């Protein structure tokens, strides 16, 4: 077991030296995994991070040593196994969770429930104990269930704050931006599609009718919507048993984390995210969320839907409801 313990004083010293506005402590749980490693690499380059704490049940010493040679302000520490989770999470401002198993061909995200629900619940216990004020960013699937699980665990511990819990749906937005820009011959980096609902199959609903200046045919809308909803399957099939999206997810996770840290520093930033919401009758829903110095600041509605979007919306609600309830029931039975 290895833990490159860095004293608080040296972290503070590095913060002072860096002159960075944030100096936030950010932990990645699942840091040695397919998403965790590239995500940690991208976060090492984030100037708002003063301490990057890598937690996993295996291999964090190597990842931490490797990243620590990159000359950016973030001090990197590695922590392995449950006995080191306290050190990993202690005083964290943000904990990002890509821990758990990914999909293999033919699997839905819901098929991961049995393994990942327990992993996420145990990590939520540790967050409640060691950094109850942290902003928690859930990547582990099924997000539609793991976010409610985390909320319930935090509630039981008396530390739940809906402003600080996020299901990361940014990969759906990145895919939508890429595929829509491709169809319109636009720059994908300047395209920002709103994606609402949840993060699994038909619960992912891109609002293509709201893309400025786009005049898609019904066939184009149907094809693009399907590709955004099931884009993850393209990667799972291409990887042929070796996992699901990792590099694009790392980019998506880093984007969301970066946006949140900018908001915590006082900048006005908005992202789509799966959060506690009153926009629908469901307790959690993803729409555009305005982030502020305390996390969720304001949650947008979804505007006017086209007839096709309304039909998809109506069809999605019972599925999403069942997946949310499955998470809540799991946490209640623990």
Tell me the binding residues for substrate: 103, 109, 141, 175
| Shortest distance, position 32 Cβ to ligand NAI, whole Å | 4
Residue 324's alpha-carbon distances to 35, 59, 233, in angstroms, are 24, 32, 22
| Shortest distance, position 173 Cβ to ligand NAI, whole Å | 10
Closest to ligand NAI by CB, 116 vs 312, is: 116
Closest CA to 330 of 162, 82, 150: 150
Closest CA to 116 of 236, 40, 29: 29
Answer for the pair 307, 221: CB distance below 8 angstroms, yes or no: no
CA distance 170 to 107: 21
Residue 294 tokens read as 């305390």
| Shortest distance, position 15 Cβ to ligand NAI, whole Å | 26
- Beta partners for 197? 204, 286
Asked if 199 is an active-site residue, the reply is yes
Closest to ligand NAI by CB, 142 vs 295, is: 142
Closest to ligand NAI by CB, 68 vs 244, is: 244
Residue 86 tokens read as 């306290």
| Alpha helices (H) in the chain, listed in sequence order | 8-18, 36-44, 60-68, 85-89, 113-130, 143-156, 170-184, 218-229, 231-239, 247-264, 307-333
| Shortest distance, position 111 Cβ to ligand NAI, whole Å | 10
| Shortest distance, position 116 Cβ to ligand NAI, whole Å | 5
Answer for the pair 284, 276: CB distance below 8 angstroms, yes or no: yes
Give the number of residues written for the chain: 334
User: Could you give the angle at the alpha carbon of 228 between the alpha carbons of 226 and 234, nearest 5°?
Assistant: 90
CA distance 334 to 322: 19
Residues 261, 265, 270, 276: is their CA dihedral positive or negative?
A: positive
Q: Say whether 76 sits in a helix, a strand or coil.
A: strand
Closest to ligand NAI by CB, 29 vs 196, is: 29
Binding residues for ligand NAI, per CB under 6 A?
Answer: 29-30, 32-36, 55-58, 98-103, 112, 116, 119, 122, 139-141, 143, 168, 171, 199, 243-246, 249
| Shortest distance, position 201 Cβ to ligand NAI, whole Å | 12
Give the CB-nearest residue to ligand NAI: 33
Closest to ligand NAI by CB, 140 vs 286, is: 140
- Residue positions in the annotated binding site for NAD(+)? 30-36, 56, 116, 139-141, 249
Closest to ligand NAI by CB, 15 vs 236, is: 236
CA distance 27 to 91: 10
Catalytic residue among 51, 130, 135, 199: 199
Roughly what angle, to the nearest 10 degrees, separates helices 218-229 and 170-184?
A: 150
Question: Which residues are catalytic, by number?
Answer: 199
């Amino acid at each position: 077991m290895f833990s490159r313990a860095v004293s608080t004083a040296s972290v503070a010293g590095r913060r002072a030296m860096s002159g960075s506005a944030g100096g936030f402590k950010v932990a990645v749980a699942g840091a040695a995994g397919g998403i965790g490693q590239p995500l940690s690499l991208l976060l090492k380059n984030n100037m708002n991070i003063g301490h990057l704490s890598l937690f996993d049940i295996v291999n964090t010493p190597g990842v931490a040593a490797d990243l620590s040679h990159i000359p950016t302000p973030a001090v990197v520490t590695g922590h392995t196994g449950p006995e080191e989770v306290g050190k990993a999470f202690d005083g964290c401002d943000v904990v990002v969770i890509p821990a758990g198993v990914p999909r293999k061909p033919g699997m839905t995200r819901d098929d991961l429930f049995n393994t990942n629900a327990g992993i996420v619940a145990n990590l939520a216990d540790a967050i409640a104990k060691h950094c109850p004020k942290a902003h928690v960013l859930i990547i582990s699937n099924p997000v539609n269930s793991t976010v409610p699980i985390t909320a319930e665990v935090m509630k039981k511990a008396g530390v739940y704050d809906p402003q600080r819990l996020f299901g990361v749906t940014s990969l759906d937005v990145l895919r939508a931006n890429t595929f829509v820009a491709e169809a319109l011959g636009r720059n994908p980096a300047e395209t920002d599609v709103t994606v609402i609902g949840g993060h699994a199959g038909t619960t992912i609903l891109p609002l293509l009718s709201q893309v400025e200046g786009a005049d898609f045919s019904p066939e184009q809308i149907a094809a693009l919507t399907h590709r955004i909803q099931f884009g993850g399957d393209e990667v799972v099939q291409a990887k042929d048993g070796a996992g699901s999206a990792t590099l694009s997810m790392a980019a998506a996770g880093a984007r969301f984390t970066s946006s949140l840290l900018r908001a915590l520093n006082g900048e006005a930033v908005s992202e789509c995210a799966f959060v506690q919401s009153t926009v629908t009758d469901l307790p959690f829903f993803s729409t555009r969320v305005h982030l502020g110095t305390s996390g969720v600041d304001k949650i947008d509605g979804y505007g006017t839907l086209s007839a096709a979007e309304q039909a998809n919306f109506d069809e999605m609600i019972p599925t999403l409801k069942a997946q949310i309830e499955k998470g809540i029931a799991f946490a209640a039975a623990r």
